[in-house]
Chains A and B, each alone.
Chain A
Amino acid sequence: MFFLAALKKYNLQTNGPNTVFLILVMLFFCFAIAMLFMLLASIFYDGFLRINWQFLTQFPSRNPQMAGILSSWVGSLYLMILTGIIAVPLGVGAAIYFEKYAKKNWFNHLMEINIGTLAGVPSIIYGLLGLALFVRIMSLDRSLIAGALTLALLILPIIIISSREAIRNVPSFMQDGALALGATRSQVIKTIIIPLSFPGILTGIILALSRAIGETAPLIAIGALTYIAFLPENILSPFTALPIQIFNWISRPQALFHQNAAAGIIVLISITLLLNMSAVFLRDYFDRKNNK
Chain B
Amino acid sequence: MSILFGMHKHIFQIKEKIIELIFSFCGLFSLLITVGIIGIIFWETTLFFKEVSLFEFMLSTQWTPLFSIKHFGVLPLITGTLLVAGIAMIIAMPTGVLMAIFMNEYANAKIRRVVKPVLEILAGIPTIVYGYFALLSVTPFLQKVIPSLSGFNAISPGIVMGIMILPMVVSLSDDAFGAVPKEMKLAAYALGSSRFQVAFKIILPAAMSGVIAAFILAISRAIGETMLVAIAAGMKPAFTLNPLVPIQTITSYIVQISLGDTPVGTLAYRSIFAVASVLFIITFIFNVIAQKLRHSLKY
Contact = CB atoms under 8 A, between A and B. Distances in A.
Q: Do most interface residues of chain A lie in helix, strand or loop, or is the interface mixed?
A: helix
Nearest to A226: B259
Contacts of B99: 25, 28-29, 32
A244 to B, nearest CB: 9
Contact of A111 (B25, B30, B132): B30
Contacts of A243: 126, 128, 227
B109 interface: no
Contact of B124 (A98, A127, A272): A272
Contacts of B22: 93
Contact of B195 (A18, A92, A207): A18
Contacts of A184: 12, 16
Contact of B36 (A97, A133, A246): A133
Interface string A193-207: 000000000000001
Nearest to B231: A250
A181 interface: no
A268 interface: yes
B227 A21 contact: no
B132 A280 contact: no
Interface in A32-71: 32, 35-36, 38-39, 42-43, 46
Given A39-B137, A216-B227, A273 B124 contact: yes
A174 interface: no
A272 B120 CA distance: 12
Contact of B251 (A14, A115, A124): A124
Nearest to B95: A28
Contacts of B37: 121, 125-126, 129
Contacts of A97: 23-24, 26-27
B7 interface: no
B27 A117 contact: no
Interface string A174-210: 0000000000111000000000000000000001001
Q: Which of B26, B37, B230 has the most CB of A within 10 A?
A: B26
A265 B23 CA distance: 39
B40 A128 contact: yes
Sort A-B residue pairs by CB-CB distance and give the 5 closest, nearest first: A122-B224, A214-B126, A93-B26, A97-B27, A217-B226
Interface of B: 12, 15-16, 19-20, 22-31, 33-34, 36-37, 40-41, 44, 95, 98-99, 101-102, 106, 117, 120-122, 124-133, 135-137, 163, 166, 194-196, 199-200, 217, 220-221, 223-227, 230-231, 251, 254-255, 258-259, 261, 264, 272-273, 276, 279-280, 283-284, 286-288, 290-291
